Structure 1
Amino acid sequence: MQNIYDVTIIGGGPAGLYSAFYSGLRGLKTKLIESQQELGGKVLLYPEKLIWDVGGHPPVLGGQFVKQLVEQAKVFDPTILTGTKVDFVERQDDLFIIHTADGSLHYSKTILLAVGGGIINPQKLTLEGAEKYEMANLHYTVQSYQRFVNKDIIISGGGNAAIDWAVELSPLAKSITVIYRKEKLSAHEATIQEAINAGVKIECNTTITKLISNADKTAIQFVTCENAITKESIVRPIDEVIVSHGYNYEASLEFDQAIAIPKKDDYYFEGKATGETAQPGIFAAGDILSFEGKVNLLIGTFQDAANAVNSIKTYLEPDAYRYGMVSSHNDLFKEKNRAIIEERFAPVEN
């Protein structure tokens, strides 16, 4: 049998990453399994958006925040698997057996679900040949503002994300046109007005019907847009195309019949603020967990993670102290603190 872990965390977003750190803090042998190739979860969708609402933390770009979360998660050297989709979980006596899509089996005494709303995939353009431009100038998220400087941009979508991108890119772009298939945008009115004030052109009842490549067929040079009311088609020269049609959420795992966890709204698991679910040995943190008083923000995610790990610790070791010792008094950090202080105050050579 393979190594048996104290806890296996399923999901590598903020909840899973902080759980990995905290479980190491509590001395638990930890594995984290993430279906995507990169750690970070939904924050990866907005790497250039500023995050303001983490206590005591200055505003930070999403991409940098993920980097810091990953570094923190690795402090106690957990086993981390990326690009590994969990398909099925079964219980066998006192162990959980986790089946992944590659045919591997993983063994764990407990499980911590941190899968958010499931595996997130953007809803893509269904136009023929669209996928070949994804490595060029067809985007489903904005990874870097720099490439949009002084560019003619078309954004397809009318929700909050689409209009947010229009507002944020408007000071940088040469021009921005937002097209939306419905009669009225679904974004917040204040954000729509902000986009209009910034010079963003908005066309409703309009969709992209064709992508036209440049001469060497490496990128999109023109798009054909059609108005559903007038049936008029317009061919527009563009530099960049952003598609913001929302996301598909795929449930990342199934359980055997012996594992019953009540669900809310057909997906989120009912549980407690302590991270416990109705199934002994299975805990949850982050968006996947529902309980009265839930805070659906990053600050709530971190509290969920700490509570779930503390519950796991006492589940495995009933005599263990309920809470982890704070870092300022924790022997685990003494050596690390000393190294950081020595580096910070090391004499500067002339």
Structure 2
Amino acid sequence: MKEVYDVTIIGGGPIGLFTAFYCGMRKLKTKIIEASLQLGGKISLFYPEKIIRDIGGIPQIKGELLVKQLIEQAKTFDPTVVCGERADLLERSADGTFVITCTNGNTHYTKTIILAVGHGLFKPKKLKIDGAEQYLGTCLHYTVDRLSIFEGKDVVISGGGNTAVDWANELSSIAKSVTIIHRKDEFSAHEQQVERIKLQARICALCQIKAIHGKENQLDISVENLRTKQTDRLKADHLLICHGIESDFGNLVNWGLKMAENRFVVNNRMETNIPGIFAVGDAVIYPNKLKLIAGGFMEGPVAVNSAAQFLHPDKPLVDLYSTHYDFS
């Protein structure tokens, strides 16, 4: 016999996890479907060692610890969690129930859906240099799993966005040296972080990596100046590539959801154009959208409240606070 849920959250990253907790506060029968094999989203995959400082009441916290605490919080009301399944097809039964079929053929039944898919399935953009992949896992990195491997080492970072600049600042306190290579003369990162890195690292602006060679776990990196076309050589123990992320929503884009700038359009109630489907986090776009974890933590409860009203339109929506519950 098929089991029908009140809410199915597609995506088990930070926003999806907190959304699941708030579903429990609303006493909604909840399921999380996560495409990867672990919960935590982009933080678990790429930034477990990154220090996060933009969540109210938490001065600083490592990504992996934040995810651990979010998982613990999400499980407070015992939602059903399914990992390793990617939502694919969507149908709607005569009674209004959504039928989600995953790429592995498994089906899930739900009265409402909350999309918390971030940027979809993602992978780091690779360094397009011949022979680069032979150094992957020893000298070449796309993520930082352990800060300790960079301690006392010469580190080169390629990229100019927030990820590159944040890691340059983070590693400068433990590395022997940090050099950051960027194709442009201006960084597209937070101004304060950019000012910090200018004091702590060597900056190679208007430059790009042309070739890399290695010997005894040390890289010899050829760096081309895009203005002069001259090439210099850099020695490095580690090369960290931060060229962005390639994302893919898969078949969600064929569900009939309105999209703009490769994100799902919602209103201030987190409603999509399809009744019963809501969306939150990095996956959504609306006026004055704030792309912070803290912003997503607000959107989740808004979507849950909207789902609750969709399910029970004649029932008054009472404000809920954690103090209403005995969690002992």
- Which of 195, 198, 205 is the aligned partner of 1:196? 198
- Which of 271, 278, 303 is the aligned partner of 1:276? 271
**1:137-177 deviation digits (Å, cap 9, x = unpaired):** 32223233222111011111123322222222112111122
Q: What is residue 267 of structure 1 aligned with on the other side?
A: 263
Shift in CA distance, 235/264, structure 1 to aligned 2, threshold 3 Å: closer
Shift in CA distance, 31/220, structure 1 to aligned 2, threshold 3 Å: farther
**1:173-221 deviation digits (Å, cap 9, x = unpaired):** 11122222345544456544432322x2222343223332445xxx553
Pairwise mapping of residues 141-290 of structure 1 onto structure 2 (< 5 A)?
Answer: 141-187=143-189, 190-198=192-200, 200-214=201-215, 219=217, 221-254=219-252, 260-271=256-267, 273-290=268-285
Asked if 2 retains the 8 angstrom alpha-carbon contact of 1:89 and 1:253, the reply is no
* 1:265 to partner: Cα distance: 3.1
Equivalent position SS for 2:84: coil
Asked if 1 retains the 8 angstrom alpha-carbon contact of 2:263 and 2:284, the reply is no
Task: In structure 2, list runs of 5 or more residues that go unmatched.
Answer: none
Asked if 2 retains the 8 angstrom alpha-carbon contact of 1:6 and 1:110, the reply is yes
Normalised to the residue count of structure 1, the TM-score between the two structures is 0.82
Distance 1:294 1:183 in 2: 28
Shift in CA distance, 239/114, structure 1 to aligned 2, threshold 3 Å: same
1:81 alignment partner AA: V
Shift in CA distance, 237/58, structure 1 to aligned 2, threshold 3 Å: closer
Distance 2:286 2:64 in 1: 29
Normalised to the residue count of structure 2, the TM-score between the two structures is 0.87
Asked if 1 retains the 8 angstrom alpha-carbon contact of 2:8 and 2:33, the reply is yes
* 1:225 to partner: Cα distance: 2.8
Shift in CA distance, 291/209, structure 1 to aligned 2, threshold 3 Å: closer
Bigger drift between 62-71 and 39-48 goes to 39-48
Pairwise mapping of residues 133-144 of structure 1 onto structure 2 (< 5 A)?
Answer: 133-144=135-146
**1:207-246 deviation digits (Å, cap 9, x = unpaired):** 223332445xxx5533333334444444433211101111
Task: In structure 1, list runs of 5 or more residues that go unmatched.
Answer: 338-350
Asked if 2 retains the 8 angstrom alpha-carbon contact of 1:90 and 1:255, the reply is no
Distance 1:188 1:17 in 2: 27
* 1:282 to partner: Cα distance: 1.0
Shift in CA distance, 57/161, structure 1 to aligned 2, threshold 3 Å: closer
Asked if 2 retains the 8 angstrom alpha-carbon contact of 1:283 and 1:308, the reply is yes
Bigger drift between 314-323 and 138-147 goes to 314-323
**1:93-133 deviation digits (Å, cap 9, x = unpaired):** 21212122222222212111111233332111122343343
Shift in CA distance, 222/83, structure 1 to aligned 2, threshold 3 Å: farther
Asked if 2 retains the 8 angstrom alpha-carbon contact of 1:18 and 1:73, the reply is yes
2:129 alignment partner AA: L
2:17 alignment partner AA: L
Distance 1:207 1:290 in 2: 33
Asked if 2 retains the 8 angstrom alpha-carbon contact of 1:310 and 1:323, the reply is no
Asked if 1 retains the 8 angstrom alpha-carbon contact of 2:266 and 2:279, the reply is no
Report whether the alignment pairs 1:11 with 2:7.
no
User: How many correspondences in the alignment?
Assistant: 326
Equivalent position SS for 1:254: helix
Distance 1:205 1:324 in 2: 53
Distance 1:178 1:161 in 2: 12
Q: What is residue 117 of structure 1 aligned with on the other side?
A: 119
Q: What is residue 74 of structure 2 aligned with on the other side?
A: 73
Larger CA Rg, structure 1 vs 2 = 1
Bigger drift between 136-145 and 93-102 goes to 136-145
Distance 1:113 1:34 in 2: 11
Equivalent position SS for 2:278: strand
Report whether the alignment pairs 1:31 with 2:26.
no
Asked if 1 retains the 8 angstrom alpha-carbon contact of 2:264 and 2:272, the reply is no
Equivalent position SS for 2:21: helix
1:97 alignment partner AA: V
Shift in CA distance, 50/183, structure 1 to aligned 2, threshold 3 Å: closer
Distance 1:4 1:252 in 2: 24
